[in-house]
Amino acid sequence: MLVLTRRIGESIYIFPSEELEQGTSVGELFANGPIQITLTRVNGNQARIGIVAPSTLTIAREEVA
């Protein structure tokens, strides 16, 4: 599980990784299950978010995407 801390108004991007074969169907992409997003903690204006996703997806904070 990847855990990121975000503040109000900050974003997380999820997009296909460069290694994903072009033409991969949505069914193939999610063959092992859906993306799981869990709010793990809230402290003031910060939230910790856990993400479990296939390795064929890239997850990035807004400032590095």
From CA 44, how far away is CA 30, in angstroms rounded?
A: 34
| pLDDT tens, position by position, 9-46 | 999 999 988 888 888 998 888 888 899 999 999 999 99
Q: Which of 2-6, 28-32, 37-41, 48-52 has the lowest mean pLDDT?
A: 28-32
Tokens of 17: 């990784």
52 pLDDT higher than 90: yes
The residues near 23 (Cβ < 8 Å, ≥ 6 apart) are none
Query: Domain map of the chain by residue range?
Result: 2-64
CATH entry 3.40.50.2300 includes domain 2-64: no
β-partners of residue 40 are none
